[in-house]
Amino acid sequence: MRSTQRIANNAWSLLHNLNTNTAECYNSLVAKFVGAKRINFSQKGSYEIRCHAAAVSFNNPANYHKLIQLYKKKRIRCAGPDFNYGLNIDDNPDMERDSYEKLKNTFLKNLYSVDIAEVERNTRDQSLSELWIRERKIRLTASNFGRIFSIKQKTITKYYIFLTVILKITYLHRKTQS
């Protein structure tokens, strides 16, 4: 009955995993310094030195941890804009809706009318073929699929079209220079 009463009196500290036992705190510091590594028994007093270091650490707690945390909180990090947001361009369309629909429909008709097997045969030389360069400008390729697929719905797509055109121009410029 007496032991049950003692457990009941200390139940709050057991529930919250609190410990005021100094010897146990010291042993945890010794275990921290030993670090579950093999002890070098060839050196004299290696275990004792680690135990003394743990005792000094226990008796004189360091304050530098708080200073480092304060320093880290003050550091300002510049994250920059999100890659998927693109340029801050207004949503005003460049052309009227009717002319846009006409151009879109003619473009899609041209894409559907092309024989894919014939295009594949004619563009096997890839960068040596002018047809390949022309077709690559108007098609979704593996090299830019991931970037376009990960665009958020609110992102303005003008940025990606602009980026694709610029990349193709620099590619062609490098090719003519070499």
Q: Tell whether 59 and 127 lie within a shared domain.
A: no
- Residue 36 burial (C-beta neighbours within 10 Å; 0-12, 13-18, 19+): exposed
pTM of the entire predicted model: 0.32
Q: Tell whether 102 and 65 lie within a shared domain.
A: no
Residue 88 inside a domain? The answer is: no
pLDDT the model gives residue 86: 55
pLDDT the model gives residue 83: 58
pLDDT the model gives residue 58: 75
Q: Tell whether 102 and 168 lie within a shared domain.
A: yes
Domain of 51, in residue numbers: 2-74
Residue 91 inside a domain? The answer is: no
**Mean pLDDT per 10-residue interval, the chain, length 178 residues:** 72 65 69 60 68 77 63 61 56 76 83 78 81 77 74 69 61 53
Residue at which a domain ends, from 59, 74, 89:
74
Residue 82 inside a domain? The answer is: no
pLDDT the model gives residue 74: 55
pLDDT the model gives residue 30: 67
Q: Tell whether 51 and 116 lie within a shared domain.
A: no
Our count of domains for the chain comes to 2
Residue at which a domain ends, from 74, 105, 138:
74
Q: Tell whether 165 and 101 lie within a shared domain.
A: yes
Q: Tell whether 52 and 115 lie within a shared domain.
A: no
Residue 62 inside a domain? The answer is: yes
Residue 103 inside a domain? The answer is: yes
Residue 61 inside a domain? The answer is: yes
DSSP the chain: -HHHHHHHHTHHHHHTT----HHHHHHHHHHHHHTTPPP-TTSTTHHHHHHHHHHHHHHS--SHHHHHHHHHHH--------TTT--------SS-HHHHHHHHHHHHHHHHHS-HHHHHHHTTTGGG-HHHHHHHHHS--HHHHHHHHT--TTS-THHHHHHHHHHHHHHHHHHHH-
pLDDT the model gives residue 76: 60
Residue 85 inside a domain? The answer is: no
Residue 81 inside a domain? The answer is: no
pLDDT the model gives residue 118: 84
